[in-house]
Structure 1
Amino acid sequence: MPTRPVPLHLGSVAGIEPGHEFLNRLDVKAAGLHRDSVKGIASLKGNPAEAIVLSGGYEDDLDLGSVILYTGEGGNQEGRQVADQQLQGGNLALQLSFEQQTPVRVIRKVWQGKTPFYQYAGLYLVTRSAAQMGRSGHLIWQFRLEMIAAESALDSATTLVQEPAVAYEPTPRQLALTNRLVRDTRLMRIVKELYDFSCQVCAARLPTPSGPYAEAAHIRGLGGPHHGPDKLDNLLCLCPNHHLTFDRGSWSVNDDGTLRGQPGRLTLAPAHEVNPLHLHYHRRRIYQPHSAPTLF
């Protein structure tokens, strides 16, 4: 008699906090963190990804703690990319996580001398998705994940100091209490639908195999030091390029909707009122006209 698949479970698992350790993948599966004991990406067909395991098995991976560049599945042989990856299976699931901004559980393989164990790292959001050429000359799907955690972790995502890549060595441990920021994905979906998934700056509407894509951008960031509210009047619907350059301070918005730092005017839907206090904060604290942002 075939076993029934475990129902879709996005988000945290009751009773398991970041830092919880497991002897092997079977224990990780038994705890409900990951539905497979071999695959890196846990998903059910047609749904966002539930979890990923970082094991150092892909040459294009980069783990900086609160920010991860994660290579999708497929075309890998003994740690080397030997074929192109496709937007299917776990890769499509992570793409859906990106588009719907659903949380992904992250589990790390950690080495203690010659003995590995697994550690639950917490919940992350997929904040970038791109098909690009990998180190070995094959097309890969790469996903940027950012920790949903303490404000300091969110802040570090904008000022990264690159560390040695994919070492997965044990790190010093210290008991700490953190406050977690939980983004309201319902509001993020609403602001995208108000503009039919089109950028308020350039009107770009990006088609994908799973539907049109746009990003919800907070005018005043949620994490410290900004402490902005997770409300509709603090959100814009932007394409990935304008979201990134807005967050990095390359341009801003005047109270009358005209842009500062580049020509143009912000499109505003009748049902969307942007709070001028948030625009003022962005102009005063974030706007830096000479910044030169990068994608990853």
Structure 2
Amino acid sequence: MPTTANETGESTRVNKTLIGSLRGVEVGSLFDSRRALHDAGAHRALQAGIVGRREFGAESIVLSGGYFDDEDHGSSIIYTGAGGRDPKTGRQIADQDFTGHNQALVTSCLNGLLVRVVRGAVHRSPHSPPFGYRYDGLFRVERYWRERGRDGFLICRFQLEAEVGESARADPRPGSELPGEDSTRRTQVTALRVVRDTALGRSIKRLHDYTCQACGIRLLCEGGPYAEAAHVKPLGSPHHGPDRTENILCLCPNHHVLFDNGGFTIEEDLSLRGLTGCLRLARGHSVAAEYLAYHRALWEHSTPGSLN
């Protein structure tokens, strides 16, 4: 399973994959070259912008100006995935997909794993270091999607948000071993997404009697029925979806996760692509076609369920 932080914040090495921050590499540490980054373990690749494996998640990323579509807002980053770039011109010449190193970032998103972020001086951003490379701490991959970039090709996009505080530590020495069975520790559980509980969301859930619009299941807990309000066009940057009833669905937790991560989309006729059946409706609630179209565009040319 992927490396996770234990209750003391320490990280663990799994199959030579190192997730979390590093002992001896503090936030703000400067490095004069990619070789120095590599030798310190902060980013263990001399060229690739993403270090990680599909099975275990991403260790680190570098913002080094290689992709024109990257957006650096300090504590929030919209990062462009790997692939499809002409190494001579830096222009995008082919579509990207969620495979290889991009899949590692998807795994980090789905499992709530933290990713080390390194910024390079070549990257055009006020947050870049004056020279070389700088380790800027741990970020969480909040969301991923695909869209057309400036060069007209589909690119994988990852929204990363800075983790507040940093206590995770890992031993980067090449000879580090996995902890034995007698050193098993309690792991820290981290939510993968924010489940927003707003008055509008509650009203939509009541209209549907807390029944999932995708599967028709109504979860009844000891304290009453449970469902989640899912925004079709995501809230916040870079999507800026509105908190309006026509942008909200009533979903069970499973289908909320699937919907947010491309497991299924909703066609114009309300049929479900990636699932059987159609979106269930309730009197007094309709979903705007423009928001459904926006959500479909995030997963354009993807096959729902292919990332699972």
Number of the residue aligned with 2:62 = 53
Give CA deviations for 1:28-70 in whole Å, capped at 9, x if unaligned: 1111111211100001242211100000110111111111110
- TM-score normalized with structure 2 length: 0.52
Which protein has greater RCO, CA pairs closer than 8 Å, 6+ apart?
Answer: 2
Tell me the C-alpha RMSD between the 2 structures: 4.2
Match of 2:212 among 199, 203, 212: 203
SS at match of 1:43: strand
Alignment of 1:93 with 2:104, yes or no, is yes
**Deviating more after overlay: 41-50 vs 81-90:** 41-50
Aligned residue number for residue 262 of structure 1? 245
Count of matched residue positions in the alignment of Structure 1 and Structure 2: 192
Pairing of 1:57-206 with structure 2 (within 5 A): 57-77=66-86, 78-110=89-121, 116-149=131-164, 179-180=165-166, 186=189, 188=191, 203=212
> How much does 1:26 deviate?
0.9
Q: Is the 8 A contact 2:213 2:249 kept in 1?
A: no
The letter of the residue matching 1:43 is G
Q: Could you tell me how far 1:266 is from its partner in structure 2?
A: 6.8
**Alpha carbons 1:148, 1:181 under 8 Å: kept:** no
Write the letter of the residue equivalent to 1:97. Answer: S
Tell whether the 8 Å contact from 2:85 to 2:91 is kept in structure 1 after alignment.
Answer: yes
Q: Which residue of 2 aligns with 1:37?
A: 46
Displacement of 1:185 after TM fit? 6.1
Q: Is the 8 A contact 2:211 2:252 kept in 1?
A: no
In 1, Cα distance between equivalents of 2:110 and 2:59 = 14
Q: Secondary structure at the match of 1:85?
A: coil
Residues 102 and 238 of structure 1: is their aligned pair in 2 closer, same or farther, counting only changes over 3 Å?
A: farther
Query: AA paired with 2:189?
Result: R
Structure 1 residue 8 and structure 2 residue 8: aligned? no
Q: How far off is 1:135 after superposition?
A: 0.8
Deviation at 1:244, TM superposition (A): 3.0
Secondary structure in structure 2 of the residue aligned to 1:140: strand
SS of the counterpart of 2:191? helix
Q: Which runs of 5+ in 1 are unaligned?
A: 150-178, 193-199, 207-235, 252-260, 270-292
Give the drift of 1:98.
1.2
Shift of the alpha carbon at 1:129? 0.5
Cα offset, 1:90, TM superposition? 0.8
**Amino-acid identity (%):** 34
**Structure 1 contact 133–139 (Cα < 8 Å) conserved:** yes
Q: Deviations over 1:1-43 (max 9, x none)?
A: xxxx971111110121111000101111111111211100001
Residues 244 and 141 (structure 1), Cα distance of their counterparts in 2 relative to 1, 3 Å cut: same
* Preserved CA contact (<8 Å) 1:6 1:35: no
Q: 1:249 to 1:85 in 2, by over 3 A?
A: closer
> 1:265-284 maps to which residues of 2 (within 5 A)?
none
Aligned AA for 2:65? G
In 1: Cα distance, 2:152 partner to 2:249 partner: 41
Answer whether contact 2:229 2:251 (CA < 8 A) is retained.
Answer: no
Structure 1 residues 93 and 75, CA, compared in 2 at 3 Å: closer, same or farther?
A: same
1:17 aligns with 2:26: yes
Larger radius of gyration: 2
What's the TM-score, normalizing by structure 1?
Answer: 0.54
Contact 2:34-2:46 at 8 Å conserved across structures: yes
CA distance in 1, matches of 2:211, 2:160: 26
Aligned equivalents of 1:205, 1:90: Cα separation in 2: 31
Distance 1:59 1:242, change over 3 A: closer
2:214 and 2:251 in contact (8 A); partners too: no
Runs of 4+ in structure 1 over 6 Å off: 189-192, 263-269, 293-296
Tell me: CA distance 1:33–1:6, structure 2 relative to 1, closer, same or farther (3 Å): farther
Displacement of 1:237 in angstroms is 5.5
The residue type paired with residue 94 of structure 1 is L
